[in-house]
Amino acid sequence: MITEKIERLLNDAAKKIGLSDSLTVSFSNMPKLCDFQCNDCFKLAKTAGMAPLELAGKIVANIEKDSDFCFEAVKPAFINIKLTDQGFEKLGQTILNSENCGLEKHKNGQRVILDYGGANIAKTLHVGHLRPAIIGEAIKRLYQQLGDSVISDVHLGDWGLQLGLTELQLFEDGVLDFYFGKSDKPAEITLEMLNEAYPKASARSKVDDVFREKAEEWTLKIQKKEQPYFDIYKKIKDASVPKIRANYQALGAQFDEWYGESDSSDYVDEAIAIIEKKGLLHESDGAMVVDVATENENIPLPKSNPQEPQRYKNPMPPAIIKKSNGAVLYATTDIATILMRNKLHDNPDRIEYITDQRQAMHFTQVFRVCKLSGISPENQQLLHIGHGTMNGKDGKPFKTREGGTLKLEDMINLLIEKAGEKLKSNGQEFDRDLALKIGVAAMKFGDLINNVGKDYVFDLDKFLSFEGKTGPYLQYTAVRINSILAKVENVKEGQFKVYSDDERDILRAAVRQLSSYEVCYKEKSLAALCASTFDLASAFSTFYNNHSVIGETDEEKKSSFVQLLKMVKKLLAQALHVLAIEVPEKM
Ligand code: ARG
């Protein structure tokens, strides 16, 4: 990358004057003055035995001539670096001619498993599963873009209490008579039945202990693969999964693997044996647990009266591996899944999870058990990327107008409806596919522009605007470029040249955009790429407002403009691919 080349030039010069420390450059704080700056002369002045400004001047005087850049030492002691027009033009050529617009892949790409689906069978997929799908898909593509090889796994929630609850409810509603020999008419289990049964059972289990205990027994029977419980379970899964697939597809979340918690069941015994062999497992109230707290956790807090239950500073409860009735829990399936992944994928370098940050403690427990027991080898990185909440305009977690949880399907329909209205108000015909593409882009960009850990307000009207920092604005920019390019197809391919500051600004934005990929990689968040891509698109808009590409009469200039458009198109396409935002044919 360009900054590395500048650093090389600076460091060669520093070496010439006997400095051994290395200098770094950053983007300029004052883009009007220069493109990059080096601020290191202040701290290096002492070792160099010079005043800071003098040092800056010495370094600049010793820089090998390079016609791409122009270096200048300025008060108080900065080195300002500008790209020359030749430097800008070379940059443009690199973007045009290299596969990834000049973005370099990491030399040691890692093998990563990314777990970001988490839809639960028998329960309806709801907006709570939006953020992991959006963020996960983009993080996966970002990692791939930078050279990691990534396997995405949906990790369906398909082995928990919700199944016992649902089956028991269906049983009580008489739907399962056939399976229990009480009827000879096989009854189908439909999605509608599930949508009704689970909420009913869940509400009941909160007030009816007997019902809940029974549901726990049923869950255990499913986990032990007893009949007919296990067969019914499979029917429930078959009824749920197609819908889950369709929802993820509408969102553009693509999973390489469609495993669920249940697939870890073959690894549970082995995982427990490993944990036990390490002497980590002990009994607590009939359950099997592993203590995972460190010294500065679980510090008892003083009680104000003896009856009060004990509370702790930095609480870190033990990980429960098996319940007293023998059932496995969320932590167990996650631990066994790590064992499974390590076996099936030969110990990937990293396993990362994207879920609501409220699951942070769960993942800390799981990771610690895996590290303590050796299920996860020492050099494997386990990471939880916790996301914030999607809130309504009232600042509280997003709900339906009636105060319930919004189904993901209803959300997708809402996106289509609202984007459709937007198209109509722009004088276009309603087109469902197009509306879906725009709606999904609006939602994704509105989400990804925020740091992953931050809560944000879901404001669809704002997100859908064709102007401003939005997904549709980026789509619109790409569509516009494509339509201009279609009109200048027979312009002769020529040299890319810089004619005005408008082109320089586009290229400045391009360098920043390209460098934002690494920022995102480090931050595990797409916010920087969203912001820099928007800046690139606005730089393009300024150029577009000031110049006519199609109407340009100077052939050489016109040809150069076409190159510029191709460049922006490529940069936009690369970013939109990573953000998993599709570019429509027209808009
Ligand atoms: N099914 C879980 C939920 O709905 C999310 C699963 C996330 N992945 C994991 N390996 N635990 O909360």
pLDDT value, residue 522: 98
Whole-angstrom Cα distance, residue 418 to residue 473? 16
The owner of tokens 């689970």 is 198
Ligand 1 mean position to 154 CA, how many Å? 9
As a whole number of angstroms, the distance between CA 171 and CA 88 comes to: 71
Ligand 1 mean position to 471 CA, how many Å? 28
Q: Which of 46-55, 407-416, 564-573 has the highest mean pLDDT?
A: 564-573
- The residue ranges of DSSP E strands in 475-580, in sequence order, are none
pLDDT given for residue 450 in this prediction: 97
Residue 334 Cβ < 6 Å to ligand 1: yes
> Is the shortest distance between the CB of 445 and ligand 1 below 6 Å?
no
Q: Could you tell me if 244 and 156 are in contact, meaning their C-beta atoms sit under 8 angstroms apart?
A: yes
Amino acid found at 564: L
- Asked if 384 and 219 count as a contact pair (C-beta separation under 8 A), the reply is no
At residue 124, does pLDDT exceed 90? no
Integer Cα distance of 530 and 142 in angstroms: 12
From the CB of 261, is ligand 1 less than 6 Å away?
no
Residue 160 CA, closest ligand 1 atom number: 1
Distance 195 CA to ligand 1 centre (A): 19
Q: Tell me if 120 CB under 6 Å of ligand 1.
A: yes
Q: Supply φ then ψ for residue 148, to 5 degrees.
A: -80, 155
What is the Cα–Cα distance from 550 to 569, expressed in whole angstroms? Answer: 16
Q: Nearest 5°: phi and psi at 364?
A: -60, -45
Ligand 1 close to Cβ of residue 355 (< 6 A): yes
Q: What is the pLDDT of residues 291-330, one digit of tens each?
A: 999 999 999 999 999 999 999 999 999 999 999 999 999 9
Amino acid 20: pLDDT? 87
Question: How would residue 356 be classed by pLDDT, with cut points 50, 70 and 90?
Answer: very high
468 alpha carbon, distance to own chain's centre: 22
Ligand 1 atom closest to 123 (CA): 4
Which residue type does 571 have?
A: L
Q: What is the pLDDT of residue 286?
A: 95
Tell which one of 359, 362, 370 to mutate to probe ligand 1, the residue whose CB is within 8 A of the most ligand atoms.
359
Query: Degrees (nearest 5) of the Cα angle 565, 570, 572?
Result: 95
Atom of ligand 1 nearest to the CA of 355: 7
Least confident of 483-487, 492-496, 511-515: 492-496
Question: H or E segment at 407?
Answer: none
> By CB neighbour count within 10 A (0-12 exposed, 13-18 middle, 19+ buried), where does 229 fall?
buried
Query: Does ligand 1 lie within 6 Å of residue 115's CB atom?
Result: yes
Q: Which residues of 537-564 are buried (b: 16+ CB within 10 A; e: fewer)?
A: bbbbeebbeebebeebeeeeebbbbbbb
pLDDT at 534 > cutoff 90: yes
- Cβ contact 345:111 at 8 Å: yes
Instruction: Choose among 318, 335, 333: nearest CA to 370.
Output: 335
Q: Is the CB of residue 329 less than 8 Å from the CB of residue 320?
A: yes
Phi and psi dihedrals of 289, rounded to 5?
A: -135, 165
Q: Has residue 554 got a pLDDT over 90?
A: yes
CA of 521 relative to ligand 1 center, distance in Å: 23
pLDDT at 190 exceeding the cut of 90 = yes
The residue whose CB lies within 8 Å of the most ligand 1 atoms, and thus the one to mutate among 198, 355, 356, 363, is: 355
Residue nearest to ligand 1 atom 2, measured at CA: 118
> Is the link from the previous residue into 76 a cis peptide, with omega within 30 of 0?
yes
The Å distance, Cα 578 to ligand 1 centre, comes to 23
35 CB under 6 A from ligand 1?
A: no
Residue of the CA atom closest to atom 12 of ligand 1: 118
Residue 375 has pLDDT above 90, yes or no: yes
Residue 21: pLDDT band by 50, 70, 90 thresholds?
A: confident
Ligand 1 pocket residue status of 118, Cβ below 6 Å: yes
Q: Is the predicted pLDDT of residue 544 greater than 90, yes or no?
A: yes
Question: Bridge partners of 312?
Answer: 300
Nearest-CA residue for ligand 1 atom 4 is 118
What's the pLDDT score for residue 509?
97
Nearest to 548 by CA among 477, 484, 482: 484
**Among 21-35, 37-51, 407-421, 524-538, the range of highest mean pLDDT:** 524-538
| pLDDT classification of 7: cutoffs 50, 70, 90 | very high
129 Cα nearest atom in ligand 1: 4
Pairing label, strands 149-153, 111-115 = parallel
**Taking 90 as the threshold, does the pLDDT of residue 162 lie above it?**
yes
Residue-wise pLDDT for 231-248, tens only, equals 999 999 999 999 999 999
pLDDT surpassing 90 at residue 518: yes
CA 102 to CA 92: how far, in whole Å?
Answer: 10
Residue with CA nearest ligand 1 atom 3 = 118
Residue 363 CA: which ligand 1 atom is closest? 11
121 Cα: distance to centroid of ligand 1 (angstroms)? 11
Region 178-195: mean pLDDT is 92
Q: Express each pLDDT in 80-110 by its tens digit.
A: 999 999 999 999 999 999 999 999 999 999 9
| pLDDT value at residue 402 | 82
Q: How many CB atoms lie within 10 A of CB 80?
A: 19
For residues 253, 258, 264, 265, the Cα torsion angle rounded to the nearest 10 degrees is 130
For ligand 1, atom 7: residue with the closest CA: 118
Helix axis angle, 555-579 relative to 471-487, nearest 10°?
140
pLDDT at 493 over 90: no
**pLDDT value of residue 486:** 96
Q: Rounded to the nearest whole angstrom, what is the distance from the C-alpha of residue 348 to the centroid of ligand 1?
A: 20
Phi, psi (rounded to 5 degrees) for 536: -65, -45
Residue 128 has pLDDT above 90, yes or no: no
> What is the four-CA torsion angle of 349, 351, 354, 355, rounded to 10 degrees?
-150
Q: What does the pLDDT average to over 171-177?
A: 95
Radius of gyration of the chain (CA): 29
pLDDT tens-digit profile of 447-482? 999 999 999 999 999 999 999 999 999 999 999 999
Instruction: Tell me how far apart the alpha carbons of residues 543 and 505 are, in angstroms, rounded to a whole number.
Output: 9
What is the token pair recorded at 51? 């005043």
Atom 5, ligand 1: residue with shortest CA distance: 118
Q: Which residues pair with 152 in a beta bridge?
A: 114
CA dist 291 and 268 (Å) reads: 18
Q: Is 157 in the pocket of ligand 1 (CB under 6 A)?
A: yes
pLDDT at 5: 93
CB 88 within 8 A of CB 498: yes
Distance of CA 274 from the midpoint of ligand 1 (Å) = 24
Q: What percent of the chain has pLDDT over 90?
A: 91
Does ligand 1 come within 6 angstroms of the Cβ of 353?
A: yes
Q: What is the pLDDT of residues 391-412, one digit of tens each?
A: 999 999 888 888 888 898 999 9
Q: What confidence score (pLDDT) does residue 490 get?
A: 87
Please tell me if the CB atom of residue 155 comes closer than 6 angstroms to any atom of ligand 1: yes
